Structure 1
């Protein structure tokens, strides 16, 4: 690991309780040492990121279809804020629409991941995220 602290801090932005549970279980089953903070809509996600008392996440797992403020709006706010703009954002969505993928990359998402359909596939996705985003990638320091 290239990080100075032992636990990875992740902000999961997801409004579906079943998907939140699957993500938590997948991280646990993959033996990924992470603290997952959950925001159930885009407004809550931005509030978490702007709150100086909240831990700064190592990356964001962002769903696109969210109440109050959708995932694309959250991504645009992150990229428009000097404090947040370098924060890795991994879109994790059920959408396979090429248009959604294209606009997310235009708005500088770091990755576009389609939600797996089985718990086993979720675990495999989590292991891939850990290997790439935590073990391989060198990220800039927190602001």
Structure 2
């Protein structure tokens, strides 16, 4: 029993260590201060560098859709900065938002490799097996 509790304690410490790094700033945002904001049940860590805001989703969500997370991140970025969100790039966990402040042009959206965004529309599970269907754009 003692070995079991030591293993559980080790896993808990490991989990706390990993989760503590979940909102670490991305490249170019390490010197920016972090602000946490929530909207519609989703919590974000926001960092601003000039006219770009980095939003890291802190709330656990099961299979979040990029479009929905991007919408929420754009709203909190606009509320926090007072600027207009002109584009959102990234994935459901880490987003970059290009802002237009005081009528200025937003920054150029970073070029990316072609990506597919996929949403799982149906998911069926039985035991340890899962099957479903996905729509990719």
Query: What interval of TM-score do these two structures reach, taking the shorter chain for normalisation?
Result: under 0.3
Rg (Cα) greater in structure = 2
TM-score normalised over the length of structure 2: 0.26
Larger relative contact order (Cα-Cα within 8 Å, sequence gap ≥ 6): 1
Give 1 or 2: higher strand fraction.
2
TM-score normalised over the length of structure 1: 0.25
